[in-house]
Copies of this chain bind each other. A is one copy, B any other.
Amino acid sequence: MDMYETGLEPGAANHVPLTPLSFLGRSARAFPHKTAVIHGERRISYGLLQERCVRLASALRGAGVGAQETVAVMAPNTPALLEAHYGVAMAGAVLNAINTRLDAATVAFILRHGGAKVLIADRDYCEVVRAALADLDDPPRVIDVVDPLGRDGHGASMAIGREDYEAFLASGDPGFAWEPPVDEWQAIALNYTSGTTGDPKGAVYHHRGAYLNALGNALAFGLPHEAVYLWTLPMFHCSGWTYTWAVTAVGGTHICLRNVEAGRIFGLIREHRVTHMCAAPIVLNMLGHAAERPQDPFDPRVRVATGGAAPPSSLIARMEAMGFDITHLYGLTETYGPNLLCQWQREWNDLPLELRARKMARQGIQTITAEAVTVRDRERDTEVPADGETLGEIAVRGNTVMKGYLKNPEATANALRDGWFRTGDLAVRHEDGYIEVKDRLKDIIISGGENISTLEVEEVLYGHPDVMEAAVVAKPDEKWGETPCAFVTPRPDVEIDADELIRWCRERLAGFKAPRHVVFTELPKTSTGKIQKYVLRQQAAEL
């Protein structure tokens, strides 16, 4: 042992496991009377939030939940789901927030696979949850969240279990001596991916990753302690991209939101002076095209982070005029949400809209706490050159990568291979190092040895005024190997000609990228709204 180790071992005074539970404790000390949560007319201070979470932990223990057992929640963005992000871990248990858009069979699968001992369920989902429970041999104990703001007022006819969440909390001891994790590698959350094929996989988060990703995102998104955060992103989605913990870390205010409705969102932004929110591209689209758009831009302006598809320039312009400033992010369930962000560069401010939109279209550069995010050649497993052309797979390494998939060593080993989490997303690196996603690995088309990004072709199709939805997949071809085949849903009451659409694409894309076939149809989707390309591929093969 050298002199910098001898007698300098870690001890209780200088080594504490990282956990986002610290954030709540700190904010309860720093801001005991400040409003932590707003839900309709309700206000919960940080002092009270801490007390409610401790009660929840105590009540869960009383209900027989043991260390590292699972507590599931099926709820929209309400105080109950936020509290579960702390109270469940304070009981030493693991939170499994379930996607509320899933069907009963999938919910049943998740409850069975995750082994939930307790299910906290909002009565909005009484039908699905009842059906899922009926499917289980050993159903969890059910606690109902009864919320007057819920669907149909959440009357007794919507009951799922026999207990009420508020009564359950009241049964908990506010003086319960909960214990922080002994090891920061301990699990804190279980989030199932919404795979487009096969059973969902349960990504396991640990306390260390939750803590670090929350701090990294607070810095990336510039959350001040005066932050007012509107919950337009589901908390069940990657633990709300860890903003469930990040907003609490800075002592900001969480604004709950049961349903994503443009009018309600605009009203809440105005009423509470919202500063930050996250949202899927579809939500931005809805806001940008809402009939009841506000006349004057919001003051203060609202910073909105979005993942997935790049926002088109027309949408950016609309959003900016309304007072929104967009940040583009990238992440997956396996990476606690955002690990790349399109870090804004000051010199971009002066670019014309179209060029700014091109910059913003990229998913960007790793956040501070994401140790390494890069694009790797699939064969040689080296970083691809920053030429904006060479396609590789996005790979992530660091403390904000999941522990692995629950009870699925094969999928875990396949995902966490040779020191990297392999995302299955194909991308390029631009000259400035910014990463841009081109396609899902399994969706890319290889035609005559050339890669065709289906996203790129779909983007062109979406640009056609008569196209409502579009998906492009590979069709086997004797000569070329594969050729692009487009499945298109036209806007209502509109007819489009396949040849005209192909011409439209040829004018905007290299010839080999334009679809050879166009099929007009409804697109098959999962219960969460993802297009099932594997179904389309089968159809294309049979054409």
Contact = CB atoms under 8 A, between A and B. Distances in A.
Interface stretch (A137-145, A364-372, A529-537): A364-372
Interface stretch (A100-108, A294-302, A395-403, A518-526): A395-403
Contacts of A218: 219
Copies in the complex: 2
B433 A13 contact: no
Interface string A215-231: 11011001011100000
B13 A421 contact: yes
A7 B368 contact: no
Contacts of A15: 185, 399
B14 A401 contact: yes
B399 A18 contact: yes
Interface stretch (A25-33, A163-171, A461-469, A501-509): A25-33
Contacts of A16: 371-372, 397-399
Contact of A13 (B204, B222, B365, B416): B416
Interface stretch (A128-136, A304-312, A405-413, A441-449): A405-413
Contact of A186 (B4, B219, B224): B4
A345 B417 CA distance: 48
A215 B226 contact: no
A489 interface: no
A350 to B, nearest CB: 15
Contact of A420 (B13, B29, B34, B115): B13
Contacts of A185: 10, 15
Contacts of A209: 14
A222 B396 CA distance: 28
Contacts of A345: 31, 34
A397 B14 CA distance: 6
A22 interface: yes
A29 B366 contact: yes
A219 B369 CA distance: 13
Given A13-B421, A16-B397, A416-B11, A406 B3 contact: yes
Given A4-B186, A215-B215, A343-B225, A365 B68 contact: no
Nearest to A434: B30
Nearest to A398: B16
A250 B412 contact: no
A16 B224 CA distance: 28
A222 B372 CA distance: 24
14 contacts: A3-B406, A7-B407, A8-B403, A13-B396, A13-B416, A14-B402, A14-B421, A15-B399, A26-B368, A30-B343, A34-B345, A219-B219, A225-B343, A226-B346
Q: Which 6 residue pairs are nearest across A and B when measured between Cβ atoms?
A: A12-B419, A14-B401, A4-B187, A8-B403, A7-B409, A13-B416
Given A13-B420, A215-B215, 10 more contacts: A4-B94, A8-B403, A10-B185, A15-B399, A18-B399, A23-B368, A219-B219, A219-B249, A249-B368, A251-B343
Interface of A: 2-8, 10-16, 18, 22-23, 26, 29-32, 34, 68, 94, 115, 185-187, 204, 209, 212, 215-216, 218-219, 222, 224-226, 249-251, 343, 345-346, 365-366, 368-369, 371-372, 396-399, 401-404, 406-407, 409, 412, 416-421, 432-433
